[in-house]
Structure formats: C-alpha cells, structure tokens
Structure 1
Amino acid sequence: MASQVLVAANRGPLSYVLDDDGALTARRGGGGLVSGLSAALARQPEALWICAALSDADREAVRRGVSEPGVRMLDIDPTTYDDAYNGIANSVLWFTHHHLYDVPREPVFDARFRRQWEAYAAYNHAFAVALAEEAGEGAAVLVQDYHLALVPGELRALRPDLKIGHFTHTPWASPDFLGMLPDDIRSQLVWGMLGADRLGFHTRAWAAEFVRGADLDDARGCADPFWAADSSPGVHHRPMGPDGRLGERRTTDVGAYPLGVDGDDLRALAHRPVVDDKLAALRAEVGDRAAIVRVDRTELSKNVLRGLLAYRELLTSHPEWRERVVHLASAYPSRQDLEVYRAYTQSVRDLAAEINAEFGTPQWQPVLVSVEDDFARSLAAYRMADVALVNPVRDGMNLVAKEIPVVSEAGCALVLSTGAGAYEELREDALTVNPY
C-alpha cells in the first residue's frame, strides 16, 4: 500500500540483533530523532520510515525479507555506505557546516574525495528511488539531515507530485565555508536541497546562512534568495531542463523550528532510583563544593578542550576558588572509528589529568571526568549543577543548554556560547561567551 506520510533518515526507529540460533530480533532504536519522530508517526498509522541497514544483522534482515510495519531498510553496499557516511557526511559536510577545518591544511579535494562523493550521491539516490516507489500520489515526505542533502532534488525529478520537506539538525555553513567545496559539489549540494518545498533549520541564523549561500547561476539553473519582513525567507529558482532551457520558477521556503525539552518527562527520568544512586556517589566526591557541569559527546564542535582550559584558567587566576569548586564533565565518546575523534577523546582525558595533577590535593579532585556513555550519571550531574557550561564552537541547537536548568535542583547559571543554536532563544537568560 502506498504511503501518504514518509520519513527518510540515515538511522531508523529500530535495529536488528542476530541471535545465536540465527533468529533476528528487532529492537527499538535510540536518540532524540527516533524518539521525536516515532511519537509523531504513531498518529499516522500508514506512515513509512525509510532508513539504511546499519549493521550486519540489519542487512541480513533485508536479505531475508524480514521487516516491521512502517519501516523499510535499504541494504546499501557497506563500502558505499562507509564512503558516504564517514567519508563525506561526517568528514566533509559535518566539518564544513560546523566550520571545523584547519584551513591551512584542509580540506583537500583529491581523487579519493571524488570517489567518496560518488558514493554519497549513490547513497542519496537509493533513498530517492525508495521514496519514489513507496509514496502515494501527493504524499508528504520529510527528509532528515545532512546525510541526505541530495535526496530532495533527486526525488523532485522522479516524483514532482510530492510535497517534500528537508530538516537539517546541524548548522548550515556560511557562504565562505560552503565556498571551500569544489564549485560543482557546492552546486549539487544546494540544488539538491532546493528540490524541497520547505527547508527547516533549528534557528533563524542557520536558515539565513542557507539562503545567503543559495544565490546561484550555473549549469544547473539560476536561484535567487528573497527576504520578507512579514514571513520566512526563501529561494526562487528555475532549474535547467534536459533541453538546456530554464524550467518554470519554483519556490523553496526556508524556516526556523527550534526544539524544546519535555521538562516533566526529563525530571521524572532524573529521579529514578538508578540516578539517585549515581547522585549519592557524586555528592560523596563533590561534598558541599560548587559544581560546574557539562555533558557532551567528544565531538570536535562541542569545544570540550577549551572548556577545560577555561576551568584551568579560573583556578590559576582566582586561587580563592581552589577546593571550593568541582568540574563534572561527562564526555561520551563520539565517532571513534575516525582517528581525529579518537585523538580528541584522548586529549580530553589527558587535559583533565593534567589539571588534577597541577591543582589537586588529597582532599580535592578539581575535575571529575567521565569518558563513557552513562546517561544516569549525566542526569545526576544535572541535578547537582550550580553552573551549566555549554560552549560549542558551532551547534545546530544543543538541548543540554535547555535540559540542565530544567533539572538542576538548586537552580543554575547557564554559561552559553554564542555558537550554540540555543543562544538565539536563551541569550537573555545566560552568561554568554565567545567559544574561542
């Protein structure tokens, strides 16, 4: 049966586990995207979620024809997937949108990059074809994130009847950083996005970055950004047809849609017995000292190292705070299959150890760092927070900036980077800092 509501995302709402006896068991996936969209799609009984098969068990499920209602997994060649996901999405587009490149040395666009880009295009094409096959006449399709930036354009060509939206959960690169990409790649990327009827970002700033970078006049057509005082901005565009002539003008609207937190649900999670146990252990270590709390992945854009350096500067410049404060830093390992992330994670461990060696006493450990995925410990730290430190270089939203103040038992000061997406909403209620 054709679906009237479809979601496309790299990660699906479930994954499979291959049991010892060869049986496949489906397990619900994790993460904010899965939780948020699953709740919304529950009200659409005929909705379909199209995702990539990420594990060997997922791929085996596809090959056996095993599936769950409302989910279609795509069995993409593992090498193609790795080149698309790690080679382009996480090593090029992520770095571009978050302004992470060490510009004197990178990026480098060589033959390897071109091969990986072909894989990224093939990966996006597989999603576009699957959506075209599954969508009913005039169906609504919501494409998720930078992994699938080319899908709207491809899908528009295959199924012009569809209502297509694309939501980007990261920032969008400034025109200068977007301009680092080869001209043809930048053109493919922007025209891919312009296949959508509406593009969504978390903040007006990221929406504006896209619009500013979408002024195009090239072999694919012409595109003209527009700004409206009483409505969202957008882009008028005329794609080039197969006959070499400009087609009819279309409009892609671009809007900002911030993400909030469910305070009641979060507080309930933070008061479960497992969190109470973690809280008791942390209180035993911290005592009556003030707690500066951060919770992040060891992701380069989260700026964990500069946060630790700032804390060391506090202890150096204001010795009166020694033995009166503890920095609780939860840093979940992120993307450890990439060398640059493994090195960054180790640097976090090393710097925390240096601070403890320099300032620590038998009665006081200045930094309590946890480089592991421990959600209960993070919630316990939320409850203890006197100061929440959120200092990303550049971030799509950063829900931690909204979560810690909701859960903190004594109330906390929020130290917030101007690079966080949440800055747009919270700057009047935070101590704002330059992330550098």
Structure 2
Amino acid sequence: MSQADFVVVANRLPVDRDDDGGWRRSPGGLVTALEPVMRKTEGAWVGWPGKPGLELEPFDFEGTHLVPVVLSADEVQNYYEGFSNDTIWPLYHDVIAAPRYRRVWWDAYVDVNRRFAEASAAAAAEGATVWVQDYQLQLVPALLRKLRPDLTIGYFHHIPFPAYGLFSQLPWRRQVLEGLMGADVVGFQRVADAGNFARAVRRLFHYTTKASGISVPLEDGGNRNVLAKAFPISIDTESYIEMAQRPEIQARAKEIREGLGNPKAVLLGVDRLDYTKGIRHRLKAFGELLEDGQLTVEDATLVQVASPSRERVEAYIQLRDEIELTVGRINGDFDTMDHTAIRYLHQAFPREEMVALYLAADVMLVTALRDGMNLVAKEYVASRIDNRGVLLLSEFAGAADELGSAIRINPHDIGGMKDAIMRATEMPGSEQGRRMRALRRRVLDHDVTDWSRSFLDALAAAKR
C-alpha cells in the first residue's frame, strides 16, 4: 500500500485475534470513534498486535491499513507493565498507589517509543496528519517530528495529567514534556489537565504559555505554537440507544432484577479492577448502610462488575484479594436465603449484557478516586431511554465537568456517600426524569463523533 494521509498511533492495533487465527474489530471506544475517519481517509493504524514476539507484515482490515509493531516479552514487561502501568499510571492518578521509578523500565519505554515513531514515519505520506494516543507513547510526537518535520502531529492524553507537585517526582520529567511538545495539538480530558501540563512546561522550560498555546523556541530562532486544550472524550451514543430499545435487552433487564429477588433498588458499579476506581470506598459505604439499618438486603442489592485488569501487577493482585474479602464479609453478615447484599462479578461482559444491567439499575455508582473521563457514566446515561435512574458521580472523574445534573460525591467522604446513596434510592420519579433528561441532552449532543471531529478540526487549523 502507498503511504497514508491519516495515521493513528496507539499502543494496540484496533483488532483482536480470533480463536481460528483470523481478526475481529476490538470493542473499545477509541476504535469506534476513529472507524469513520479511517474509512473515509483510507488511513493507517500503527500498534502492537497484543502478543509478545508476534511478527506480522502490515495488512489491511475493513478499510484500514494496519502496521504491527513487534514487542518482545521483556519489552511488554518493562515498557508496558513496568513504566507505563507501574510508573506513569499511579503517578498520573494522584499517587493513589506508589509509583516505582526504574531506569531499566525507562530505557525500554524510550526504545519502544522510538520504534513506534519510526513505524509511523514510514506509514505516513508527505504532509500527512498523525494522531498519537495516550500515555504509553508520550515520547512519540517529538521523535516523529525529528524524523518527519513535514507532518502535522496530534496527541491525545486519555488519563489525568497531574499537578506539578506530583509530576515533578518523575526523574525523566523534562524528556516526557519535550516528547509531548513535539505535537501541534496536545489534547486532554479536562481543562485542569491542560492547565497542569502548561504549568509544568512553564516551571521546567520557562516557555510562554497562553490560552492560544505554548510558544516553543526553534533552533533557527523562531517559535512553534503548541495548542494544549481539553477535548473531553465521549461514546458512540446511538449504539447504546439502539441496544436499549431492543425488546430482548429490555426483557433481560427484567430477568436480572428477578434474579436478584426484585429488590426495591438495584445499585450498580461497573469498573476495571483498578485502585483508581474507588471500589473499596463504595463497598464500605454500602456495608455501613446495611449495618446502620438504613438499607436492608430485601430493599437494596449492589451489583459490582469488576473486569480483570493487569493481573500480573502486585498492586492489582492485592486489590482483588482485599475486595473479595470485603464482599465475602458483607455477604456473610447480611445475606438471607432469598437475597444477596452484593453480587460480585469478576469478569467482562458483552455490551448487550451491560446495557441490560444499566436498564436494570436504579442507581449507578461512579466513585473513582481519579479518572481521566469515566465512560461508564456516559454509557449509563445513554442507555436510560426511559429517563429514569440516578447517577452518583465522583467529582474526581473527568465526566463530572460535563454531567452537572448527576449527584456529585467525594468518594473519600464515606458519610457523604452514604447520604447520597440514600437520597438516590429515595429520589422521586419526577426529579429522576428532570436530571436524566439534562444528562442525556449533554451526552447526545457531545458524542464520540463530535469528540474526534473537534480534535481533528483543531489539528487542521494547526496545519494552515
């Protein structure tokens, strides 16, 4: 294939391997968001195929040219599990868990980012637009600019960007900022994240930062403008509405409630099993409400879906043990023969089952201690075509900036969370309707297509 005018660079390719060795499209939100753009532009996607040591030639899949980047088992361990997920992830999520700074991880991160940049440079046509995705590839923009100054480069940061007091811990902080400043547009989930990035640049490099962008000096004495701005990501709203309207999914929602013993209120948490999600805080609040007698198992059941995540990282192994111990203790204390306090599901479910769960749930609990966005909150809202249900939303999730009609909570305030849960379970239908209509308006107006269009428009403006 000839080189592409539009190239996406992400840690993973947008496909998963079938059992029979074929390929299927990944279910992720980013893949859904970019699919229309990739089809229209006949673009290329650079990424890791998901298995260590898997060497593949570039291939075409459903109108997209896929360019695999090979990673060895050591690189997966050091670049991905190590630096990306044991250094950057905890550091950028307010040090909820302690980040580890290991030079061997950093060296692997540099090497892998260089390979991604080289693969992207080879895949891009003259004057192409390249869009780099997320924290695993923070060095790629500058490396790519050095290789291909003719390109227009965007970078989107899907997770939070920390305040300087935390970011300054990183031994390689200057290199990371230099990497990101290789982009023409650096996108963040929240205005506060873009502000944190600009302040870090000002503190370390003393560059001029304004709302219009960061002025980066060039070797020839001129300046290059880097726009750092919030572009809150969203979901494919229409697909959730379509699923919520299907009679078989509505019937499944009724079946779920019946299987739980038809309690007055079904509370729902849906998360990756991650220490940033506030699952422990949620369980504590719910357990105390049962202890206090404010809720009974006949009245309320908490369904907690915790999909497996980074199962080889020590902090995640400990978290799973702790959560399962807590669930077991609460259920042991409060279950009856007919009713369970917490239905805990350590597994991932297809989207149709998730929509049925959203329709079955009276209260959605999003209690993240820190979250770039939290698309589950938006999925719940999009699915509630009946304009019912209550969203409890942590103020530390990016979605809180947009979903102002949710009940906002501070997940560290267990007493406040208990009050909010009681308020939600007792909320009259008229108030539920008023809040949900406002939430749905926001999610419908700002879907994932709107997100990708607004970012690409900013990139196009940078190109002019």
Identify whether the pair has TM-score above 0.5, normalized to the shorter chain. yes
Instruction: Report if the CA contact (8 A) 1:223-1:235 is conserved.
Output: no
Matched, 1:77 2:78: no
User: In the TM superposition, what is the alpha-carbon distance from 1:146 to its structure 2 partner?
Assistant: 0.4
Q: How does 1:25-424 map to 2 (within 5 A)?
A: 25-45=22-42, 47-55=43-51, 59-62=54-57, 68=61, 70-102=65-97, 106-109=98-101, 113-182=102-171, 185-217=172-204, 222-228=205-211, 234-238=213-217, 241=219, 247-270=221-244, 271=246, 273=248, 276-277=251-252, 279-319=254-294, 321-375=296-350, 376-408=352-384, 409=386, 411-424=388-401
Runs of 5+ unmatched residues, structure 2:
413-464
Secondary structure in 2 matching 1:268: helix
Percent of pairs with identical residues: 31
Deviations 1:86-121 (A, max 9, x none): 11111111111111344xxx4443xxx111101000
Q: What TM-score comes out, normalization by structure 2 length? A: 0.82
2: CA distance between counterparts of 1:320 and 1:341? 30
Secondary structure in 2 matching 1:42: helix
Matched, 1:433 2:429: no
Instruction: Report if the CA contact (8 A) 1:223-1:238 is conserved.
Output: no
User: In the TM superposition, what is the alpha-carbon distance from 1:83 to its structure 2 partner?
Assistant: 0.8
User: In the TM superposition, what is the alpha-carbon distance from 1:166 to its structure 2 partner?
Assistant: 0.1
2: CA distance between counterparts of 1:320 and 1:345? 26
Q: Which amino acid aligns with 2:393?
A: L
1: CA distance between counterparts of 2:295 and 2:185? 53
Change (3 A) 1:280 1:236: same
Change (3 A) 1:432 1:211: same
Q: Which amino acid aligns with 2:82?
A: G
Instruction: Report if the CA contact (8 A) 2:297-2:340 is conserved.
Output: no
Change (3 A) 1:349 1:275: farther
Structure showing greater relative contact order (alpha-carbon pairs closer than 8 Å, 6 or more residues apart): 2
1: CA distance between counterparts of 2:239 and 2:18? 29
Cross-structure match for 2:445:
none
Specify which structure has the higher proportion of helix. 2
- Bigger shift: 86-95 or 403-412? 403-412
Instruction: Report if the CA contact (8 A) 1:7-1:143 is conserved.
Output: yes
Change (3 A) 1:187 1:275: farther
Q: Which amino acid aligns with 2:4?
A: S
Deviations 1:25-52 (A, max 9, x none): 222223111121123211112x111111
Aligned residue pair count: 406
Q: Which amino acid aligns with 1:165?
A: G
CA RMSD of aligned residues (A): 2.2
User: In the TM superposition, what is the alpha-carbon distance from 1:176 to its structure 2 partner?
Assistant: 1.2
2: CA distance between counterparts of 1:195 and 1:292? 45
User: In the TM superposition, what is the alpha-carbon distance from 1:260 to its structure 2 partner?
Assistant: 2.8
Runs of 5+ unmatched residues, structure 1:
none
Instruction: Report if the CA contact (8 A) 2:303-2:344 is conserved.
Output: yes
